[in-house]
Amino acid sequence: MTIDDPRERGPDERGPDDRALWDQAAAGSGHAFGVLFDRHAKAVYNHCFRLTASWSAAEDHLQSTFLLAWRKRDGLRLEHDSALPWLLAVATNVVRGDRRALARRLRLFRRAPAEAPVPDHADLVAERVDDQRRMAVLLAAVEELPRNEREALALCVWSGVSYADAAGVLGIAEGSVRARVSKAKARLTRRLGPPPAVAVPALSLEDR
């Protein structure tokens, strides 16, 4: 499935804004919700990958995020012109919940033998493994950051959310968001070196 980037289209090509689409979806329009999915799925997918360093987990979290969004559509009014900041906040919570559930399962089954890797097409697997390996190195460093810095970094740097929108999602002042991002970048640079050492691969659903 190919999902293009709506930011590359002109205003007329984008169609109704997110507020109008969300109101239509809240009234039961599956088509309007589908437009929102097409508009933001790629960004949410990338956000989930960057939080998990896993292609398959990112796909699962993408589906869970939009399922929750559909369930909550009639009880929520957008506070931003774009639905993306709220969707990224939902995705972050979905990933957190999955990590907590995984930690519980690992505590219960940590002595279970590991499954052998399944062979796949060599070139494609090598590319994906390399992406995941690089992302895992970065995430290991990111996991050592304070949680408030991790969340600000994921929203503003990795997913391109504005500082103002991130402040609304996180419930803090815009200046505090900027400070958290700055501190996070400084910590990562000290640990991993300057960019591109801390660069994050940009992914697409069509690359699966």
* Domain map (residue ranges) of the chain: 6-207
Mean pLDDT of 162-186: 88
Average pLDDT of the chain to the nearest whole number: 78
Q: What is the pLDDT, as a whole number, of residue 10?
A: 47
Confidence at 161, pLDDT banded by 50, 70, 90: confident
Region 53-82: mean pLDDT is: 88
The pLDDT of 38-60, averaged and rounded, is: 91
Helix residue spans in the chain (DSSP H)? 11-14, 18-26, 30-52, 55-72, 84-109, 122-142, 147-153, 163-170, 174-192
Give the pLDDT confidence score for residue 60 in this predicted structure: 93
| Higher local confidence (pLDDT), 63 or 50 | 63
The whole-angstrom separation of Cα 54 and Cα 128 is: 9
pTM: 0.61
Q: Tell me the fold of 6-207.
A: Rna Polymerase Sigma Factor; Chain: A (1.10.1740)
pLDDT at 101 over 80: no
* Residue 127: pLDDT band with limits 50, 70, 90: low
Which pair of tokens denotes residue 152?
A: 């600000």
Q: Check whether 206 has a pLDDT greater than 70.
A: no
